Structure 1
Amino acid sequence: MKMKLKKVLAAAMISLLATTALVGCGSDKKSADTGKKVQIEYWHVAAESFGGAIVKELVADFNKTHPNIEVVEKYNPDMYKGLTQNLQAAMASGKNPDVVQMGYSFLNYAAENFKYTDLNEAFKAAGDENFMKDNYLPNVLQLAQTEDGKQIGLPYSVSVPVLFYNPEIFEKAGLDPKNPPKTWEEVSKAAKQIKDKTGNMGFFMQEYADNWTQQALIESNGGQMLTKVDGKVKAGFDTPESAAAYQVVADMVKNGSGLHATNEEGFQAYLSGKLGMVCTTIGKRANFEKGAKFKVMASPFPAFGNKPTKIPAGGNFLMVFSKDAEKQKAAIEFIKYLESPEALAKWSTGTGYLPPRKGVADDPKGFKKLADENPNIKMALQEMTKVTKWASFPGANGLQAEQLLIDARDIILSGKMSAQDALHQTAEKINKLL
């Protein structure tokens, strides 16, 4: 499955870069023809420091050009886990949102636990049944398909974890900004050198309410997040390789060169020039480049020695949960706008996410020009050849399983328990849930 997805995403991005003509012209700006305004709700995870302003800009533009549709956007904290929890509560009370940014790690959970709108049927009902086929490569569409081929959503944002660093701090610490750490051993040494020679913190790894970067750590060291035993999904991270991967970050925190904090604290430390390195999504690129007073530089996710890095594809896809036909039609119209070349270029430029639609990455007047000029974007595109599937805990207890592993991360980083013991206990609890 991992190799299949790796080939899927690598081929997808290569094809996106190779495409020389824009396909289609985006939303045709038709509105729901009911004679009255249809209001729909759009749920997202874009905080103000993570694309929130772009969401508001896109929604305002859509509302202005579609007088018979009004989109109301709603930010959901705690990323995709928080959004999914809120979605559970909303659907239980019968108050479904209409369009939702669903994280790739919750694809299986959403498919198994929520009543969603089949996008093939929805586009057909909206009179545009070939929209997905005409504008997306089959392997890109697979990112929002279940294993049995159901198209439960449309890919919207794609990201990879990278290592951002401050070249000025590197120079003060006697490190070469042109030769950033390539392995976790080098990261650890650089973090300690930064702390010892500058007094600044050396390293911070994002601490969102998910296990995205932790999966990259585990699987890059030869471990697995999930495995199958007798046809049943089990926790796969109770291994020496996984424990060693977690312990690398925990040891940096223990010796004072690593930071264990909220994302807001960690990211602000980086932007204010008090942190040397931060490992997080390329989706933070625009926010960092805009907010920092130094030149923001980024390098690939570090490796464990000579082992190949395996990084899960991050980001989200768009799902529809509208109950009635008019709202479904309006939701599809809004999705077509969000996925138009113009809107995608704004979204990708304003965040750092990589566009999924054919032609956008190769638009000489838009994203391609930016990618050619920005080495951080160019590097992220090249990293797509290393991606694996973002693990998704199945079943009704998937959210609880995800939270248990998040809690284990905090226990390990706070030094309350070794990585080996914490992961062992967590695996036992998760296996009982699954």
Structure 2
Amino acid sequence: MEKTLFSSAISGRLTAIAFLVTATSAASAATDIQVWHALPEYNKVVFEELVRNYNRSQDDVRVSLRAFESEDQLDTALQADSSKPNLFQMGETSGLDDVAQRSYVQPMHTLLTKASAGNQRWFLPAANNFMHDTRGRMLALPFMAEIPVMFYNIDAFKRAGLEPTQPQRVWQGLQDQLVTLANNGSRRCPLTSDQPVSINLENLAAVNKQFYAGDSNNRRGFDFDILYVRHLSTMISWVRSELMVKPEFGPQSVDRFQGGECAVLLSNSGNIGRLNAQRGLNYAVTGLPYYPQVTTQPGNPFVSGSGFWASKGKSNDEDKASAQFVNWLASDDVAQKWYESTGYLPLTQAAYAKTEPSYYANLGDWKALVDVYERNPENTTRGFRVNNYHQIRAMFNLTLEDALDGKTPAVAALRVAAEEANKIANARPR
């Protein structure tokens, strides 16, 4: 009898040990991948919750995140660290020297061959050129693709007695409204922006159906004609007359609109999620203004933002794990939640189709603005490719800052900027 009890005890211990060994082996079998990102705070929280759900939902892949304050900070870490993450967030510079040319980058279309995703239909067509090569192949996952839009505070328009309570899409008409807003409750900030180059150069062209860097004959180069001069002169006058608070880099402009101080904000759609979460903020979205003297109907802005790029040189197991994670991000429910929670463009057609009409109920023209990106773009809004554009864009930022400060007249600022940009573009890519 004692022998039987003793044997049973031994057997029970062995069973428990076997269970622990099996569980430990299963846990250790998970493939770890690293993902670096530089999402703004609100969207960062949404993404981190998605990743926690993913890690809890399966045992094959373990995703570890590292957050950075900015893409510049992340890029500095990439250059300094020989051990690259499996996936990292980076914007497309719209240049021939973009991220895809880096020696450690693996094209996303190559990575996705490592794990089956079924019949996935992406939302943005390859013809848009965003995160795609000249052959239409996906270079990076356009997870943070966005467009510039005009946000407006409905209550501010009501206080000013403006009907309808939304901004005009014509620049001159918007100016008249800004005067009324300034005189009736929005004196401190009728309008502001955090995207000076996007609004006043890049998408000034796209929305007015003009070629930005070149022309219809595929000639390359910058030539800021009377459209740009007239527009920049108008913006300088708006800053001087306090109809517009000069664009500020960083979160300040969006913070001021979110807090109800600014009546109109020109910024990227990726702010929609955080603005939706702000209690008491009654706002909506419409498209950027245009000049009817140039085009009878406004065009669509360039797609901008960033995406997840993959590193090469990883093991087959890690590549497969990364592809599985990307496929999960693109799954219908996850992609739908990401779109609705952030304001980035839908990742897949299924995610867009699953979004209920109630989501758009208080967002003004947002659905109509998104809908056009499911179709092939016009030639003037396909995106552009210019050598060393990251340097050119930085120079344009400084040029616009000086002009809006009143240091340089519009004509001189744009002439010098175009000449300098063409020199940089013709230099060897860096």
TM over 0.5: yes
Corresponding residue to 1:59 among 31, 51, 66: 51
Please state how far the C-alpha of 1:54 moved relative to its aligned partner.
0.8
Partner of 1:187: 174
The aligned length equals: 388
Relative to structure 2, which stretch is displaced further, 372-381 or 244-253? 372-381
Q: In the alignment, residue 57 of structure 1 is paired with which amino acid? A: E
Q: In the alignment, residue 346 of structure 1 is paired with which amino acid? A: K
Kept after mapping to 2: 8 A contact 1:135/1:358: yes
Please state how far the C-alpha of 1:382 moved relative to its aligned partner.
4.4
Please tell me whether residue 344 in structure 1 is matched to residue 332 in structure 2: no
- From the superposition, tell whether residues 60 and 106 of structure 1 become closer, same or farther in structure 2 (CA, over 3 Å): farther
User: What's the secondary structure of 2:52's corresponding residue?
Assistant: helix
Q: In the alignment, residue 377 of structure 1 is paired with which amino acid? A: W
Please tell me whether residue 411 in structure 1 is matched to residue 397 in structure 2: no
Please state how far the C-alpha of 1:139 moved relative to its aligned partner.
2.8
- From the superposition, tell whether residues 233 and 337 of structure 1 become closer, same or farther in structure 2 (CA, over 3 Å): same
Name the CA distance, whole Å, in 2 between partners of 1:224 and 1:320.
Answer: 31
Please state how far the C-alpha of 1:159 moved relative to its aligned partner.
2.7
Name the CA distance, whole Å, in 2 between partners of 1:265 and 1:58.
Answer: 27
Corresponding residue to 2:32 among 27, 39, 42: 39
Please tell me whether residue 421 in structure 1 is matched to residue 408 in structure 2: no
Name the CA distance, whole Å, in 1 between partners of 2:178 and 2:191.
Answer: 6
Q: Which blocks of at least 5 consecutive residues in structure 2 are unaligned?
A: 1-25, 426-430
Please state how far the C-alpha of 1:291 moved relative to its aligned partner.
1.5
Please tell me whether residue 203 in structure 1 is matched to residue 191 in structure 2: yes
Q: In the alignment, residue 311 of structure 2 is paired with which amino acid? A: F
Kept after mapping to 1: 8 A contact 2:37/2:88: yes
Corresponding residue to 1:378 among 367, 382, 385: 367
User: What's the secondary structure of 1:192's corresponding residue?
Assistant: helix
What's the RMSD between the two structures over aligned residues? 3.1
- From the superposition, tell whether residues 120 and 271 of structure 1 become closer, same or farther in structure 2 (CA, over 3 Å): closer
Please tell me whether residue 248 in structure 1 is matched to residue 222 in structure 2: no
Q: TM-score, normalised by structure 2?
A: 0.79
User: What's the secondary structure of 1:305's corresponding residue?
Assistant: coil
Q: Which blocks of at least 5 consecutive residues in structure 1 are unaligned?
A: 1-32
Partner of 2:259: 272
- From the superposition, tell whether residues 256 and 375 of structure 1 become closer, same or farther in structure 2 (CA, over 3 Å): closer
- From the superposition, tell whether residues 150 and 188 of structure 1 become closer, same or farther in structure 2 (CA, over 3 Å): same
- From the superposition, tell whether residues 222 and 389 of structure 1 become closer, same or farther in structure 2 (CA, over 3 Å): closer
Partner of 1:398: 389
- From the superposition, tell whether residues 52 and 120 of structure 1 become closer, same or farther in structure 2 (CA, over 3 Å): closer
Q: Report the structure number with the largest CA radius of gyration.
A: 2
Partner of 1:226: 213
Name the CA distance, whole Å, in 1 between partners of 2:54 and 2:401.
Answer: 41
Q: In the alignment, residue 335 of structure 2 is paired with which amino acid? A: L
Kept after mapping to 2: 8 A contact 1:38/1:68: yes
Name the CA distance, whole Å, in 2 between partners of 1:323 and 1:70.
Answer: 19
- From the superposition, tell whether residues 292 and 389 of structure 1 become closer, same or farther in structure 2 (CA, over 3 Å): farther
Partner of 1:125: 114
- From the superposition, tell whether residues 149 and 299 of structure 1 become closer, same or farther in structure 2 (CA, over 3 Å): closer
Relative to structure 2, which stretch is displaced further, 170-179 or 323-332? 170-179
Name the CA distance, whole Å, in 1 between partners of 2:240 and 2:372.
Answer: 30
Please state how far the C-alpha of 1:417 moved relative to its aligned partner.
1.2
Report 1:78-157 matches (<5 A): 78=70, 82=72, 86-87=74-75, 90-91=78-79, 93-106=81-94, 108=96, 109-126=98-115, 128=116, 131=118, 134-136=120-122, 139-140=125-126, 143-157=130-144
Q: Indicate the percent of aligned positions where both proteins have the same amino acid.
A: 17
Please tell me whether residue 318 in structure 1 is matched to residue 311 in structure 2: no
- From the superposition, tell whether residues 293 and 383 of structure 1 become closer, same or farther in structure 2 (CA, over 3 Å): farther
Partner of 1:24: none
Q: TM-score, normalised by structure 1?
A: 0.79
Partner of 2:18: none
Kept after mapping to 1: 8 A contact 2:206/2:302: no
Please tell me whether residue 71 in structure 1 is matched to residue 63 in structure 2: yes
Q: In the alignment, residue 294 of structure 1 is paired with which amino acid? A: L
User: What's the secondary structure of 2:105's corresponding residue?
Assistant: coil
Please state how far the C-alpha of 1:228 moved relative to its aligned partner.
6.6
Kept after mapping to 1: 8 A contact 2:132/2:138: yes
